Amino acid sequence: MAVKSQADIDNGAGLALAGSRQKGVELATSAGGTNIAGTDICEEFGHSGSGVGSNINVGSYHTGSGGLVPAAGNTSGNIAGGAAGEKQFSDYIGGASISAPGTFALNELYLNFTQGIQGGEGQFAEAFAYVQFAHEAANNRIRIIYGSGTSAAPHQQQITYYNYVGLSSATWKARYNVTSQARGGDSAGSCFQGSQGALPVQDGYNSGTYYTLSGSSIVSFWWMAYANPNTLGPSCQNSGTVVGEFVQANSSTNVYPFQLQGTLGSDTYNAYAVKANNPGQGQPFGSQGSIALSAGTNLYAPF
């Protein structure tokens, strides 16, 4: 076994093994008296030839600042998605390429948090907006369904996908962030009869908390203003409101109105919603945006 000086190694010189290194062939005895088998190296780094291989250059695998080089396509900053720190040969091989975009797009034409409706005589009325998340691990993506509108004129439901590479086994979560939100009138108390909402809180989702997208489950963030024409309920006022304000996007704290987070081992991948439509395309969706939903109904007044 040819021995390199420290200077050679520091300069990236190849650690060449003299003679045949056909897989399985024993090599020269090392200075420590331990036989180094061809399989020891081939199984760690791979074999660059058929039969007799070429020089194995450790510098090809252990380069860069501190020698901790991510695998090709790995955006996590660590080799094969592993934790920072001391590396083993196995850390350099077998790691899948990882790609996790930092944003996903929502179109304000179909997700408008300012909606209003005045229903007809004796009619229930709703004004709503929602965003739903589900993990499709088999397809390497997060499905995002969203929409808004009123019970009289709902917008066409939209579906977009957050596509990743190498993170199907990661734990994915979603959250929303607001500085305030409140429900009033028929949207509050016993008068409310909506299927979801009136705020995400009523469905078990608090602002600023990540919720896991497990299996085929769907995490739904719903806002719904609801108007009830029923005069028998003492709390019914024939009108309802939902008001609030989304957070201002803050890159230093990584807080945005709508966010995804994936975790694989010690690595974390974050993404936030941006606007898909002009003007403002690419800007954080909903940042400093108001939530203003209102619904009313014209009550028939009996004699």
- My answer on whether 260 and 136 are in the same domain is yes
In a domain, 266, yes or no: yes
- My answer on whether 235 and 292 are in the same domain is yes
Single out the residue in 47, 65, 92 at which a domain terminates: 92
pLDDT of residue 119: 86
- My answer on whether 153 and 200 are in the same domain is yes
CB neighbour class for 172 (10 Å; exposed up to 12, middle 13-18, buried from 19)? buried
Q: What does pLDDT average to over the chain?
A: 78
- My answer on whether 72 and 113 are in the same domain is no
> Which segment, 32-41, 161-170, 187-196, is predicted with the most confidence on average?
161-170
Q: Model confidence over 12-49: pLDDT tens digits? A: 544 444 444 444 455 455 555 556 565 565 555 554 44
- My answer on whether 11 and 40 are in the same domain is yes
pTM of the model: 0.69
Single out the residue in 30, 61, 92 at which a domain terminates: 92
Is residue 164 scored above 70 in pLDDT? yes
pLDDT of residue 61: 47
pLDDT of residue 19: 43
Mean pLDDT on 132-141: 96
- Three-state DSSP state, 67: helix
In a domain, 98, yes or no: no
- My answer on whether 76 and 121 are in the same domain is no
In a domain, 208, yes or no: yes
Q: Model confidence over 54-79: pLDDT tens digits? A: 555 444 444 444 444 544 444 444 44
Single out the residue in 92, 117, 140 at which a domain terminates: 92
pLDDT of residue 71: 44
- My answer on whether 17 and 131 are in the same domain is no
